[in-house]
Amino acid sequence: MLSNIVEIIDIAPDQYERVMKLLNPPRGVRGAGLILFYSGSRLLHAVHTRKGPGVPVQFFGPQRLNELAAQNDADWVVCLERNALKRLAAAAQSGIDFADPFTAQGQTLLRALGAELGAGIHVWPDPAPALNQIKSGIPAIIRKLSYKKLILAAFVFDDHGGLWASLILEFIDNEIVFISTSDLLEPLDLTGKSMEQRVALLLGRCAERRGPAHLGLFCDRHAFMHIVRHPSPAQALAQCVRNGWVTLGPCPWRIRLAIRLLPRILRNKTKR
């Protein structure tokens, strides 16, 4: 997804901070966790994230982790065989090709992790569904929306018509090769301009500085908040486009179709 030659320039710092604040998960350990190291059926060491190391745990093997969680007031349990991390590292390191792009390297790492899950690394709740989504779901979406070259320009306006956040991305062969923000388009004066004028100005400047955008998205920060806080942001985006909260600029037909069909597809999936 991220090209080795990715260029990241002109990131507007205030916009970056706003978005990061919004997306950044809280630091530190989430919930109470139990981390166990074992060999055979012998427990070597136990750490409870709230109670500390060396907690007494009745261990009968890496099965029934949900029971262990219940007995030890833990929201999650990770159980590691003594050499599992070494095996995982060895498998990843011997499998990753230095010449591969980052996405392929990441997939190799995930495969190595997948091989250890349930063998030397046991986790409760089961992370397999989420991992599968990362391994197959995201690349599948990218493949479906595959373009030889695509420039995406997305702009979020504040309550006064100024820019609250922005993103300019260029994909080549499904890989991001360029990341920027409205700082690339400076100097910009958006005051007193209508939405149409703003869209025209931003797209024109984008074409001038990087190339014509193939996909343009424009919305205010309330719509943006709605989308990023929605459990299914893609569905929320589609809904916002349909009800006019998000203005589409240029848009390739496959993406336009996907946005139209997405709510229906997701609705059907939920029903099933």
Partner 1 sequence: MPLQIGYHGIIFGDIEKPFMSAALHYWRHDAGAWGKILDRVREAGFTMVSITIPWSVHETSKGVFDFGISDNSKDLGKFLDLCLEKEVFVVAVLGPHTGAELNCSGYPERILEREDLLARTADGTFALAPVPPRFYPVPSYASSAFYEETAVWYDAVCKELAPRMHPAGPVIGVQADSAATMLRRTQCFDLDYCDAAVALYRDFLRGRHGDIQTVNELYGKRHARFADILPPREFLPGSSSRMPYFVDWAEFKEFLVYYGANRLTGMLKERGLGGAFTLMTYPWLPETPFHLFGTEGAAADLAGVELFGGRQDYAQVRNTARALAADSRLPFCTLGAGCNPLGAPYSFDDRQSAVLAALMNGVKAANHYLFADCDRWQGAPLARDGRRRNPAYSFYVNLNKFLKDTGLNKARMQARGALLRMRDYERFESLCSLSSPAPGFAPAGLPRDWFCAHPPMDALPESPVRRYRRQWRTWQKGFSQAGVTMEYPDSDISAEALQGYRLVVAPSFAFMNTALQKKLLVYALKGGVLALGPRAPEMDEYLMPSARFASHLLDPVDYIDELDYNGMMLRRAQVFDAPHAFVEARGKCVAYERPMERGAIIFLGFMFPDYTDIDRTPHAAELARRLAARAGIEPLYPPDDPLVETTLHTGGSATVLFTANTAPDRANPRIRLKDGETLIDAFSGESFPGPSPQIPLGPHKVRAFIVKRNAGKNQTIAGDI
- Residues of this chain that interact with partner 1 (CB under 8 A) are 2-11, 13, 16-17, 20-21, 24, 27-29, 33, 35, 37, 44-45, 47, 49, 52-54, 80, 82, 85-86, 89-90, 92-94, 96, 98, 101-102, 105, 179, 183
Measured from the CB of residue 207, what is the shortest distance to partner 1 in angstroms?
Answer: 20
Measured from the CB of residue 17, what is the shortest distance to partner 1 in angstroms?
Answer: 5
Measured from the CB of residue 232, what is the shortest distance to partner 1 in angstroms?
Answer: 24
Taking alpha carbons only, the member of 108, 158, 150, 176 closest to residue 252 is 150
- Measured distance CA(215)–CA(226) in Å, rounded: 20
Q: Which is nearer to partner 1, 81 or 220 (CB)?
A: 81
Burial class (CB in 10 A: 0-12, 13-18, 19+), 82: middle
Q: Which is nearer to partner 1, 162 or 250 (CB)?
A: 162
Q: Which is nearer to partner 1, 5 or 261 (CB)?
A: 5
Measured from the CB of residue 47, what is the shortest distance to partner 1 in angstroms?
Answer: 5
Residue for token pair 């907690």: 55
Measured from the CB of residue 204, what is the shortest distance to partner 1 in angstroms?
Answer: 20
Q: Which is nearer to partner 1, 4 or 136 (CB)?
A: 4
Measured from the CB of residue 54, what is the shortest distance to partner 1 in angstroms?
Answer: 7
Q: What residues contact residue 61 under an 8 Å CB cut-off, 6+ apart? A: 38, 41
Measured from the CB of residue 9, what is the shortest distance to partner 1 in angstroms?
Answer: 5
Q: Which is nearer to partner 1, 31 or 231 (CB)?
A: 31
Q: Which is nearer to partner 1, 11 or 234 (CB)?
A: 11
Q: Which is nearer to partner 1, 29 or 228 (CB)?
A: 29
